[in-house]
Amino acid sequence: MPFPMLRMGSFGDVVETLQEALNLWTKSAKPQLDVDGAFGPKTDGKVREFQSRSNLVPDGIVGPASWQALQPLVDQILTLAGPPQSDLEAGERIAAAASSALGVFGWGGAPVVPNKFSLKIAAAICADPTDPLRPRQGGTSLMSIFQLAGAKGVYSGRCPTISQRAVQLWQQTSGDARAARNNEDLPAWCGIFCYYVYRCAGIDLGGWINHNSNVASGKFRKMSDPAQAFRGCIGVEDGINPGGRNHHFIVMQNSEGTISSIDGNSFGPINGDFSAGVKSVIAPKTYSHQKLKQNSAYFLFPNLA
């Protein structure tokens, strides 16, 4: 969900999320909060404690910087609910987690506007080229996704910043450019995003690093017909270009020959706009069954048993 600014006097479900996240914070010297959805003095005190320990202004106002620092704790909340007990429950949880990620880290169909203080991800660009550290747009958000998804640690460490050469490599789609980018910067992270969504939904498959063995060992059921795909499946568009890499996405809806999805490592947030190169964002997309069949797509869903 998109997280609004909170302060003393705020109330509702988002305050409950804040209270649950603060209760997961192990460095606190204060007692656990009652998860009652009311932002009172005790919640205010714990917010200020967290802000102070996170090198933020301890003003008790939970805005973008505080939510960004809290994000790894927020991501854990759904996982603590335990694994889903049915395909239907799993699909709804997965869809909710994907929608939440889109709301927090996506652009909502608006153009990418670089801002090094923003949570919103555009992994292919620098948020502030004048900053000697060259922060990646939404790099700390991306790092939390990589970490929770169980991606290789070396890649998580590269998320916060981006070199000028890496920006250039992200604008190219050749196999050589991808190999160089993997070596110097980040891999395509569409599958990593899917594992992040699954982990947020309480489905732990051991991390993206184990994906190939998960498929081979039967931890997923596999469907080749797009008509069989349902809410919460991971779609895999295979062989988009000769020698190209697979593209992964979360199926949100399948109706009348069209699949609606939420994709990580997608092109720009404005649908169908490829003019500015590979922006590498989280965005909604649609796929026709016909196109998916042409691209040898298949679909995966976890065997919950």
- 264-291 mean pLDDT: 87
pLDDT of 269 over the 70 cut: yes
Confidence (pLDDT) at 248? 96
Q: What is d(CA 70, CA 58) in angstroms, rounded to the nearest whole number?
A: 14
- 93-113 mean pLDDT: 88
Q: What is d(CA 222, CA 234) in angstroms, rounded to the nearest whole number?
A: 10
Residue-wise pLDDT for 167-221, tens only, equals 999 988 777 888 899 999 999 999 999 999 998 888 989 999 999 999 999 999 9
Confidence (pLDDT) at 239? 61
User: Is the residue at 209 inside a domain?
Assistant: no
Specify the number of domains making up the chain.
Answer: 3
DSSP-H helix ranges across the chain: 13-24, 41-53, 64-79, 87-105, 139-149, 153-158, 164-170, 175-184, 190-200, 211-216, 289-294
Q: 15 forms bridges with which residues in the sheet? A: none
Confidence (pLDDT) at 59? 95
Q: Name the pLDDT band for 291 (thresholds 50, 70, 90).
A: very high
User: Is the residue at 49 inside a domain?
Assistant: yes
Q: What is d(CA 234, CA 282) in angstroms, rounded to the nearest whole number?
A: 15
pLDDT of 278 over the 80 cut: no
Residues, the chain: 305
Q: What is d(CA 96, CA 112) in angstroms, rounded to the nearest whole number?
A: 24
User: Is the residue at 271 inside a domain?
Assistant: yes
Average pLDDT, the chain: 89
Residues 54 and 110 occupy one common structural domain: no
Confidence (pLDDT) at 1? 42
User: Is the residue at 192 inside a domain?
Assistant: no
Residues 169 and 224 occupy one common structural domain: no
User: Is the residue at 206 inside a domain?
Assistant: no
Long-range contacts of 109-118 (CB under 8 A, 24+ apart): 109/269, 109/270, 109/271, 110/269, 110/270, 111/268, 111/269, 111/270, 112/137, 112/268, 112/269, 112/276, 112/279, 112/281, 117/64, 117/65, 118/64
Query: Residue 258: exposed, middle, or buried by beta-carbon count in 10 A (0-12, 13-18, 19+)?
Result: middle
User: Is the residue at 119 inside a domain?
Assistant: yes
Domain that holds residue 20: 13-62
Residues 92 and 167 occupy one common structural domain: yes
Residue ending a domain, among 142, 166, 184, is 184
Q: Which residue, among 103, 134, 147, 83, has the nearest Cα to 1 in the 3D structure?
A: 103
Residues 148 and 97 occupy one common structural domain: yes
Annotate 122-159 with b (16+ C-beta within 10 A) or e (fewer). Answer: bbbbbbeeeeeebbbbbbbbbbbbbbbbbbeeebbebb
CATH label of the domain that carries residue 297: 3.90.1720.10
User: Is the residue at 287 inside a domain?
Assistant: yes
pLDDT of 75 over the 80 cut: no
- 265-286 mean pLDDT: 84
Residues 116 and 155 occupy one common structural domain: yes
Tokens 């929770």 belong to 148
User: Is the residue at 210 inside a domain?
Assistant: no
Rounded to two decimals, the pTM is 0.78
